[in-house]
Amino acid sequence: MITLDFVYLLAGLVFAAWAVLSAMDAANPRRWINAGFWGLLAFSFTFGDRLTDFANGLLVVALVILGGIGLGQGQPKTTTPTERAASAERLGAKLFIPALIIPVTALLGTLVLAKIEIGGTPLFDPDDPTLIALGLGVLLAVGVGMALIRPPLMAPVQEGRRLMDAVGWAAILPQMLAALGAVFALAGVGEVVGGLVADTIPMNGPLIGVVTYCLGMALFTIIMGNAFAAFPVMTAAIALPFLIGQFEGDVAIVCAIGMLAGFCGTLMTPMAANFNVVPANLLELPDRNRMLNGVIRAQIPTALIMLVANMALMYFLAF
């Protein structure tokens, strides 16, 4: 049976390759910082489940220190911009094939492959079929891309390193904030927020609960920078006791649309550095150093419209 451990191992091997290549990149003045950063991530993905909580905590602190020092931009040995432009012109729309393979494989893995059994044993771990299929889709996409483009053998790893060096520490920000949200939930922050909400807002019906939950998800995401951090706190504070417990709303709909409401907050905050700050830097926007750069300002109207739409959908579908 294929389990999620294989996906973690695959990710760990990729991070390990970046660490080795970074250490060998003499053109990067901070190559050892990059090597240490990606190396620690590789160790975490490969052996994290065998470490104690304290050891994993020390690993996270080390990552924060290296990220705070700052990663450098490597100079990977890969195709030139001219070669990439020529390849794109030659292939045209075929370039989208590898990108489309990933979501299609994830969908098929969830709906079809997850039900396949060999000798009575499921092919995929029934607890994580989507993530396992996603990893399989990435491998298939890389193989098809190599066959189509025919780049140098190490091009996928080197191009990945080039992109991750450009993104830097913000690449792992979602995981860090999601972990922080879990810590807040275990610390009882959700219960405290729920008590404040109950004392302040009269929960007379599902509509006021829906508005409070969706607004809370968006606002807490704006503060935290990630909906995964806001979700455990706001769900424990509002969704579980009121929308689901008191008003008997549909659990799946409430939680799914609640996450979408949180994503609306993601579009409106510089705290979501990997979504809003990194793109502005990569595009070299003239206002990229402003708190509300051009990317965020362009997204705010859409985010507000979608937030209202999510409230309406949750109310009419879940109750």
Instruction: Give the per-residue pLDDT at 226.
Output: 81
- Model pTM? 0.73
Backbone angles phi, psi at 79, to 5 degrees: -65, 150
pLDDT tens digits, 169-221: 877 877 777 777 777 777 777 777 777 777 788 888 899 999 999 999 999 89
Give yes or no for a contact between 88 and 145, defined as CB atoms under 8 angstroms apart. Answer: no
Instruction: Count the neighbouring beta carbons within 10 Å of the beta carbon of residue 125.
Output: 17
pLDDT tens digits, 122-151: 777 777 788 888 888 899 999 998 888 888
pLDDT tens digits, 301-313: 999 999 999 999 9
pLDDT tens digits, 103-123: 898 888 878 877 777 777 777
